[in-house]
Structure 1
Amino acid sequence: MLDKNGFIPLYYQIQRALMEKIHSGELLEGDLLASEEELARSYQVSRMTARQALHGLKTRGYALSQKGRGTFVTKPKLEKNIMHLRGFTEDMKQRGMQPSSQLLEQTVVTAGEDLADSLTIGLGSDVMKLRRLRLADGIPMALEDSFIPLRPFPGLERINFAKQSLYYVLRENYGVRVAWADEIIEALPATREESDLLTIPKRASVLSISRIIMTTEQTPIEVACSRYRGDRYRALIRIPTTTIE
């Protein structure tokens, strides 16, 4: 029941009631929400008020409208803080989610000109290539390609990275201390393979982050590219105070 004599706007009361149903599990991801007309009739409010309630849910990431089909329950996007360098495993654990990986490829390749230049290693040097599908609570979240030079890390190629965190192994087994990274962020359409692996529609948007990881000794140790689901992630950047003129 709505409090029509109180100070809380009616649309917000409806929005809060719907969010409570989502949090309690009464409404699940993918469920069809009531239409504006149905909400207006159910709560005895105008369609404008019902429209505002649905708009509030969509703005907060809890609903998504599909033309001709209606409005569906969704999960809010995870914010990828690009000013904080953190591996996928640690990031998901910090969010209270269970990380896992599906190892798609772990091979030793020779460095071509671009890769050798990025890693400051000799042309033709041995490099471990990792291709992993990263999951959280069993849901595909990102597709990640990593290239790591093998000369500084003997035996790295024999470790099963379906079960191990790359950064944990580099830190604990090889004493690596990561200092910073150069990253390039793009919004790109998913390839057919990415769509299949990430279980998203063909040509759906992905958040692509290409990076070079540097150690405290200013040595590059990884060249990587991660493709995050556009329906699950958005980039977040905190800008320090500067003089604005």
Structure 2
Amino acid sequence: MRAGLVHSAQSLYAQLRDQLKAEILQGRRAPGERLPSEAELTAHYGVSRITVRQALNDLQKEGLLVKAHGKGSFVAQPAVAQDLTRLKGLAESLGGAGRSVHGRVLGFKPVKASAEAAARLGLAKGAPVMQLQTLRYLNREALSLNHSWMPLAIGERLGRIDLANRDILSVYENELGLAVHHAELSISAALATPAQARALAVAPGSAVLQVERVVHAADGAPLHYEHTVYRSDLFSYQLTTARSAA
């Protein structure tokens, strides 16, 4: 047994976990840095592969490590938070302060509205809508996978606009002249499906935030329905509330 692990009441995996955790929290391992492989850690610390795996799994659960399928374990980037007190797009909320939010369009096409999309947009099931799929990045890390639907009359006006690197709310207001008024938002915890995991470069079953949002005009008409999956190790929502007087 080597590298600072000793026989004690504390299990070997807990000692290894705490040692790696200290290296991360003290800045000796930088955000985005790749950890040695399980085999390398096994050889370096003189412990079993199971011990190493337990330690890494604990650090992943704590949000200190991110596992990329087929690539190994990396020190997690500090999570960013989006303020819920105002209706903003992702780039509006997270851009600046050394952060870059950009994206890639995965698909943009007319489809028949599913029952769920139709209900959210106030349309009949099977009505024509435009579907937009995007993958958003924070710096160079995949952050969110988004599926959006909008009435066809709105979607057809978006054809020549850069939808990869602009917030859709800004596009609606500044390019289409639509007055965005309010949105209904629901947030839930979920586990990444295999397809979501591939897009977000995480292991299948990783914890994600699942967000549904319906954006409305001032008259209440639905403009946009979206379903977004965020990496929970990189992103959170923040809300400040006040207790009113009785």
Aligning the two structures, in what range does the TM-score lie when normalised by the shorter sequence?
A: 0.5 to 0.7
Distance 1:95 1:227 in 2: 24
Q: Which residue of 2 aligns with 1:187?
A: 189
Which residue in the other structure is 2:79 paired with? 77
Q: In structure 2, do the counterparts of structure 1 residues 204 and 127 end up closer, same or farther at CA, with 3 Å as the change threshold?
A: same
Give the superposition deviation at 1:104.
0.8
Counterpart selection for 1:101 from 93, 99, 103: 103
**Superposition pairs for residues 1-245 of structure 1, below 5 Å?**
22=27, 27-29=29-31, 30=33, 63=64, 73-152=75-154, 154-243=156-245
**1:107-165: per-residue Cα shift (whole Å, max 9, x none)?**
11122333222112344432111111100212101101111112246422443422443
What is the CA distance between 1:195 and its match in structure 2?
0.9
Deviation at 1:179, TM superposition (A): 1.7
d(CA) in 1 for partners of 2:29, 2:103: 29
Instruction: Give the 3 Å change call, closer, same or farther, for CA 20–128 of structure 1 in structure 2.
Output: same
Unaligned runs of 5+ in 2: 1-22, 36-58, 68-73
Contact 2:105/2:135 (<8 A) preserved = yes
Q: Report SS of the residue matched to 1:151.
A: helix
Does the 8 A contact of 1:133 with 1:144 survive in 2?
yes
User: Closer, same or farther in 2 for the Cα pair 1:205/1:97, shift >3 Å?
Assistant: same
Q: CA deviation at 1:213?
A: 0.7
Please say which of residues 197-206 and 145-154 is displaced more in the overlay.
145-154
Distance (Å, rounded) in 1 between the aligned partners of 2:152 and 2:63: 44
- Give the Cα separation in 2 of the matches to 1:95 and 1:171: 25
113 and 101 in structure 1: CA distance in 2 versus 1, 3 angstrom threshold: same
Q: Distance in 1 between matches of 2:172 and 2:66?
A: 44
Offset from partner CA, 1:54-89 (integer Å, 9 cap, x none) = xxxx9xx995599xxxxx853321123333321122
> Quick one: distance in 2 between partners of 1:210 and 1:121?
18
Q: Distance in 2 between matches of 1:243 and 1:201?
A: 47
**Over aligned residues, Cα RMSD in angstroms?**
3.2
For residues 89-115 of structure 1, give each alpha carbon's deviation from its aligned partner in whole angstroms, at most 9, with x where no partner exists.
222314441121111111111223332
User: How far, CA to CA, are the matches of 1:226 and 1:152 in structure 2?
Assistant: 20
Does structure 2 conserve the Cα–Cα contact (< 8 Å) formed by 1:103 and 1:131? Answer: yes
Identity percentage over the alignment? 23
**For residues 227 and 95 of structure 1, what CA distance do their matches in structure 2 show?**
24
**What is the distance in 2 between the residues matched to 1:141 and 1:88?**
10
Relative distance call for 1:109 and 1:160 in structure 2 (3 A) is farther
- Alpha-carbon distance in structure 1 between the residues aligned to 2:205 and 2:176: 40
CA contact (8 A) 2:192 2:208 kept: yes
